[in-house]
Amino acid sequence: MQDSKTSLGLRKLIPEEKAKMLSVGVFLFLSYSTAPVVLGVPPIKIQPEQVHLSYPGVYGSMMVTWTTFDEADSMVEYGLLGGKLFEMMAKGSSTIFVDGGSEKRKLFIHRVTLSALRPGFTYVYHCGSGAGWSDIFYFTALNESSDWSPRFALFGDMGNENPQSLARLQKETQVGMYDVILHIGDFAYDMDEDNARIGDEFMRQVESIAAYVPYMTCPGNHENSYNFSNYRYRFSMPGDTEGLWYSWNVGPAHLISFSTEVYFYTDYGLDLIVKQYEWLKKDLEESNKPENRKSRPWIITMGHRPMYCSNNDHDDCTKFESLVRKGLENLFYLNGVDLELWAHEHTYERLWPVYGFMVYNGSREEPYVNPKAPVHIITGSAGCREKHDGFIPDPRDWSAFRNSDYGYTRMQVFNSTHLYLEQVSDDQNGKVIDSMWLVKEQHGVVAWV
Ligand SMILES: *[C@@H]1O[C@H](CO)[C@@H](O)[C@H](O)[C@H]1NC(C)=O
Ligand SMILES: *[C@@H]1O[C@H](CO)[C@@H](O)[C@H](O)[C@H]1NC(C)=O
Ligand SMILES: *[C@@H]1O[C@H](CO)[C@@H](O)[C@H](O)[C@H]1NC(C)=O
Ligand SMILES: *[C@@H]1O[C@H](CO)[C@@H](O)[C@H](O)[C@H]1NC(C)=O
Ligand SMILES: [Fe+2]
């Protein structure tokens, strides 16, 4: 076997790389050293890293996204679990992302779409190119049936520092407890910091979950630098808005992801508020067409900053004038949105069915059976360097349950009538500290009357 290192202690370079390095004349040999030392040669970084999955919104497909720091081809080799390894291959392409920091670091973001996957079957894959392959990962192609009951883990506000829930999420993901993960904004704290090295490290950390199930996202305030560019480039969500707003279907649910940040970072364009609103309106009209609402009765939204909250950190959701509530509550109510998922507050809060500050229980005994308004859940306590948030002592009457342990939420959309949610406390070793069934015999605006 050939030694993979040369006598200079360098790994063997492919001819193009050698030529590139020689041409810039960067070899310097220090004569006083017994072993020759090479200075000033930047490492070649063609090894794939930060591997993560997302669902492109088209049946039988899955997108694989990863990063290299030098140019390389974009390929995924894959095959059915138990079959011949890597018997299939799909090609994609890479986009150059130049971070906005002083070093203007350059990342190659590779994207490959796998298609014609067999729903419910598990695939083994690696990604990269002949210049270097990633580790081996696996995923199960989403079942396409609207009778299927997808299982979600969802949370917001997870950082590079103190990502307390990640180890538990990793284990649960790898044993197959989830079909999809929803990260409801605020990543890494912050992805752009240290010239986007914090973003790189965070994406390496979440590879432990995101390389196994689709990792679906929406932007949070911590992504705002350089017009949300780290968010827009690093993730690959359905649609053509670079992940700012999009929707997709899974099981009996239509999921809508959007940016609450258009209401706060208006320097990036006031028109984004209007564009997003128009898109939401159209998407809600489409998903409310009788044939669509029949097969996907649940409409679930996710956005980072909540319309309501009872935290003591002076965010506008604690007061009356939440910009997000002003902007979107009527639209969501009038289109019969069933469930609204939020984060941003580093706590968990469950609300009684609410609209315009008024509680609309299904009944006093069973508030979540045929509720007369959307149900809101705030789950932003996955863990980050900002630690926990506190609560105001006397919440308003729409607040049903509050807890400030680190943790995350599990959700399963069972069928057209039943949806289950529970809150996991990581502080209490995975104990379920809250749970609820949302039961709806009717969906859409007709359910409110
Ligand atoms: C998909 O889900 C449906 C409904 O639960 C089930 O009947 C079907 O067998 C599943 N398909 C696969 C391939 O697992
Ligand atoms: C910010 O990004 C959005 C989405 O790509 C774009 O529409 C907008 O024009 C950008 N704003 C600025 C100020 O560059
Ligand atoms: C809603 O239901 C809960 C639980 O039964 C109850 O505590 C609360 O007072 C109810 N709110 C209204 C406005 O009926
Ligand atoms: C929906 O799922 C729930 C929970 O498993 C079950 O009790 C109920 O009977 C199911 N309803 C239908 C219409 O299948
Ligand atoms: Fe936030």
Per DSSP, the residues of 224-246 read: -HHHHHHHHHH---SSSSTTSSE
* Residues near ion ligand 5 (Cβ under 5 Å): 186, 220-221, 344
Contacts of 198 (CB under 8 A, 6+ apart): 160, 188, 189, 190, 191, 192
Q: What is the pLDDT of residues 219-274, one digit of tens each?
A: 999 999 999 999 999 999 999 999 999 999 999 999 999 999 999 999 999 999 99
3 state DSSP class of 104: coil
Amino acid at 438: L
Strands 180-183, 137-140: pairing kind: unpaired
Strands 253-257, 348-351: pairing kind: unpaired
pLDDT of the residue at 44: 83
Q: Would the CB of 60 count as within 6 Å of ligand 1?
A: no
Tell me what the pLDDT averaged over the chain comes to: 92
CATH of domain 151-448: 3.60.21.10
The widest CA-to-CA distance across the chain, in whole angstroms, is 87
Instruction: Name the residue of 145, 179, 249, 250 to mutate for ligand 1: max ligand atoms within 8 A of Cβ.
Output: 145
Nearest C-alpha neighbor of 93 from the set 74, 67, 109: 74
pLDDT of the residue at 154: 98
Q: Rounded CA gap, 124 and 83, in Å?
A: 9
pTM, 2 dp:
0.92
Q: How far is CA 200 from the centre of its chain?
A: 15
pLDDT of the residue at 42: 79
CA 49 to ligand 5 center in whole angstroms: 26
**Whether pLDDT at 30 is above 90:** no
Q: Rounded CA gap, 7 and 9, in Å?
A: 5
As given in the structure block, the two tokens for residue 6 are 């040369």
CA 306 to ligand 5 center in whole angstroms: 10
Q: Would the CB of 355 count as within 6 Å of ligand 3?
A: no
Contacts of 173 (CB under 8 A, 6+ apart): 153, 181, 208, 209, 212, 213
**Whether pLDDT at 343 is above 80:** yes
Confidence of residue 445 (pLDDT cuts 50, 70, 90): very high
**Whether pLDDT at 58 is above 60:** yes
- DSSP letter (8 states) at residue 5: B
CA 256 to ligand 1 center in whole angstroms: 24
Q: What is the pLDDT of residues 94-140, one digit of tens each?
A: 999 999 999 999 999 999 999 999 999 999 999 999 999 999 999 99
Domain spans in the chain, listed from the N-terminal domain onward: 1-40, 49-140, 151-448
Q: What is the pLDDT of residues 164-200, one digit of tens each?
A: 999 999 999 999 999 999 999 999 999 999 999 999 9
Its CATH architecture, for the domain 49-140, is: Sandwich (2.60)
Mean pLDDT calculated for residue range 366-376: 98
